[in-house]
């Protein structure tokens, strides 16, 4: 339950929270029973308190993704994202949400060296943001790390298939699993992270039969992105599905045209400023009689 009251009089960013229980890792994991999730899990990315507040009631999980580097900071890839950036945005999303399970990505270079490095990074993320879980990329190669974290009380969401942090090694952002070798590797990766203790796994940019096989094979929820509707849940970058960008991955469905709305609204504002019709009497302070 929420045990604190935010001051709603001094900040537009802090609405009064509704008393409710935040979803937990065991509850998310328990949504998949006997290898099937009857109601798919809904997950979207969030980077700010206000964005989290708007998404929270509609989602089961909010992912503070390292996609923040491209979406918010205009970086060329996720590789330039720092741990301090992830912690700042993770804390903001926690402040803006009261229902969804919040998962924070571990950025490139902060967990690969050793399980101990991963623990130091993950424990700092959880302590400084208050999030419930972390996400890291990889399969068999990070299974030891996932097991190390899980044994020490850090819930881990894994990420297999197209792993953006390894884009240079993969040779681009193309779909994975078109060869039998890749197919077998992705299935093996899924099994490895499950056995290591991951509570869920994201399957990104994989050909549909692999996504279906993963969802049917693994006992943990498989969250698809560019995968299949047969997965146990779905995740998208929120700004992509809202229509904030002209260029998006093929698997994105644009549910809105927020970029157009913002541009048109700014144009109206600019026109009124230049015409001196804004501000009007309604937006200015007049002397009292």
Mark the binding-site residues for Mg(2+), compressed into ranges. 66, 105, 137
Q: Which of 204, 230, 246, 272 is catalytic?
A: 204
Contact 200, 158 (CB under 8 A): yes
* Chain position carrying tokens 């989290």: 52
**204 belongs to the catalytic site:** yes
d(CA 218, CA 197): 12
Residue 32 β-bridge partners: 37
d(CA 61, CA 239): 16
User: What does 108-125 look like in DSSP terms, one character per residue?
Assistant: TTSSSS-HHHHHHHHHHH
Tokens of residue 263, six digits:
């541009």
Torsion sign over Cα 104, 110, 112, 118: negative
Tokens of residue 212, six digits:
């279906």
Q: Which residues fall in the annotated binding site for 3-methyl-2-oxobutanoate?
A: 66-67, 105, 135
Q: List Cα–Cα distances, 125 to 94, 151, 171, 200, in angstroms.
A: 12, 17, 30, 19
Helix, strand or coil, per DSSP, at residue 169: helix
Compute the C-alpha angle 266/271/274, nearest 5°. Answer: 125
Give the residue numbers annotated as catalytic, written as ranges. Answer: 204
């Amino acid at each position: 339950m929420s045990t604190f009251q935010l001051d709603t009089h001094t900040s537009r960013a802090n609405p009064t929270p509704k008393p409710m229980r935040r979803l937990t890792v065991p509850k998310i994991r328990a949504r998949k029973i006997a290898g099937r999730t009857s109601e798919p899990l809904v997950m979207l990315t969030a980077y700010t308190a206000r964005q989290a507040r708007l998404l929270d009631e509609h989602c089961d999980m909010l992912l503070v993704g390292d996609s923040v580097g491209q979406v918010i900071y205009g970086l060329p890839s996720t590789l330039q994202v720092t741990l301090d950036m992830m912690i700042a945005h993770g804390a903001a999303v926690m402040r803006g949400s009261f229902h969804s399970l919040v998962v924070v990505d571990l950025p490139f270079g902060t967990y690969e060296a050793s399980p101990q490095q991963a623990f130091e990074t993950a424990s700092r993320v959880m302590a400084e943001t208050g999030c419930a879980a972390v996400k890291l990329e990889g399969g068999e190669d990070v299974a030891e790390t996932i097991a190390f974290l899980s044994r020490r009380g850090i819930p881990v969401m894994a990420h297999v298939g197209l792993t953006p942090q390894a884009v240079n090694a993969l040779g681009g952002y193309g779909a994975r699993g078109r060869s039998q070798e890749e197919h077998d590797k992705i299935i093996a990766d899924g099994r490895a992270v499950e056995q290591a203790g991951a509570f869920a796994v994201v399957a990104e940019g994989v050909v549909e039969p692999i996504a279906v096989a993963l969802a049917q094979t693994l006992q943990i929820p498989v969250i698809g992105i560019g995968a299949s509707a047969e997965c146990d849940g779905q995740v998208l970058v929120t700004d992509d599905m809202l229509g904030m960008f002209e260029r998006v991955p093929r698997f994105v469905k644009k549910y809105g045209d927020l970029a157009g709305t913002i541009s048109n609204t700014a144009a109206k504002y600019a026109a009124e400023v230049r015409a001196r019709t804004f501000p009007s009497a309604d937006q200015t302070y007049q002397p009292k009689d």
